[in-house]
Chain A
């Protein structure tokens, strides 16, 4: 090997710079169809019973669906993913900390060269887990905070005491040398608590993200989300209030950065990679491994899927996009009056809402129309007003 001139550049990224590099790497990974980003859904079980949860199962439901992977199987899969090129690894659930063998799995994964992240509700945090994270910190931890008082936790999670346990967990996690984010999913029961939740989050971290869109449960979960999720108008109102708060702080110089937000749909559009109907990195550079070992493009899909433990990781990853190649958006979407870039009509959401890929879900249409009317991106000639 020879070069024209010496090039010795070594760049050292801290957490803040990592996102930019990650984006570049993600693009290259997708172009080469390398599985850069993984999510391990370690369990479908949770210590909380959130009324809008899209994945939580009871034990009697889970045994009818499949078998939970053992710690050894997760660690073995992790070795397969390393060989295949996975770098970013998110651990989620259910509640990952509810697994009795979580420490065993986590320790093994942290000994491997992943950029590890964790989603948790923090209510199961104890001194032992805090010590584990302090000794071997993940790159980032996202804690979901469901309410600003015990009453709201009672209404949403079925456990008023979980509020105090979550705060104690957050206090423990704030001492871990990691990037901590607090997130809230809003439904009817906590939509009045945006300011209070932001204030609680601010005790522990500057990173506070909100989710206002709740889709129907998947993969056998049975939450009645339709009875509690926000209407499209409420969702947009809350999202707008959240953004305005940070804009005002930015104007006054109190907040130097944009609030943490969910990655925007279409962020990576333009690659024109198969399966084209998926306009994100799913099945191109990212994948989801469910608690029972199914490989999916992302966690919102139920099927089709591949099975890395049965067919081998590489074969499962190569086959995954082919299962979605012939998939198209519903015909009605193709002729929609709304700019589809702002529409949450990805096939995963459509499948979650409709149970298939062909029926246009009214909830998704309502979200898209509300957003379009506020942002003014209805296609020319359309002034129809959406009513809920």
Chain B
């Protein structure tokens, strides 16, 4: 799974902002701000990856509890899927 094409993550004035471009503006009107380590997850998902790979990379990068990280990744993925952001 990966983020669909047409969403670009930008680091502007200390905010991580996802901006839809071109025809993708029809699918998502507005912008998204990502806080905490959500930008890290987003960046990993700009190329095809799996939940397991994501979890491994998060645990490699951050000092977090594995079970909690897994739950939070699932929560974020569900939100992204609900918004139609994912190619699965």
Contacts and interface: CB of A to CB of B under 8 A. Distances in A.
Contacts of A14: 29-30
Contacts of A110: 21-22, 25
Interface residues of B, number: 39
A10 B34 CA distance: 5
A277 interface: no
A137 B30 CA distance: 11
A140 B65 CA distance: 43
A28 B31 CA distance: 17
A362 interface: no
Contacts of A2: 62-63
Interface stretch (A46-54, A111-119, A187-195, A325-333): A111-119
Interface in A324-357: none
Given A6-B36, A12-B83, A36-B13, A87 B19 contact: yes
A11 interface: yes
Given A3-B63, A32-B13, A10 B23 contact: no
Given A14-B30, A110-B25, A113-B19, A7 B13 contact: no
A5 to B, nearest CB: 8
Nearest to B83: A12
B48 interface: no
A38 B10 CA distance: 16
B63 A25 contact: no
Contacts of B17: 25, 87
A84 to B, nearest CB: 10
Given A1-B62, A6-B64, A12 B30 contact: yes
Interface of A: 1-3, 5-15, 17-18, 21, 24-25, 28-29, 32, 34, 36, 85, 87, 110-115, 135-139, 177, 285
12 contacts: A8-B72, A10-B42, A10-B79, A10-B80, A14-B29, A15-B29, A25-B13, A25-B15, A25-B17, A87-B10, A110-B25, A113-B8
Interface of B: 8, 10, 12-15, 17, 19, 21-23, 25-26, 29-38, 41-42, 61-65, 68-69, 72-73, 75-76, 79-80, 83
3 closest Cβ contacts across the A-B interface?
A7-B36, A113-B19, A113-B8
Given A13-B32, A135-B23, 5 more contacts: A2-B62, A85-B13, A111-B21, A135-B26, A139-B25
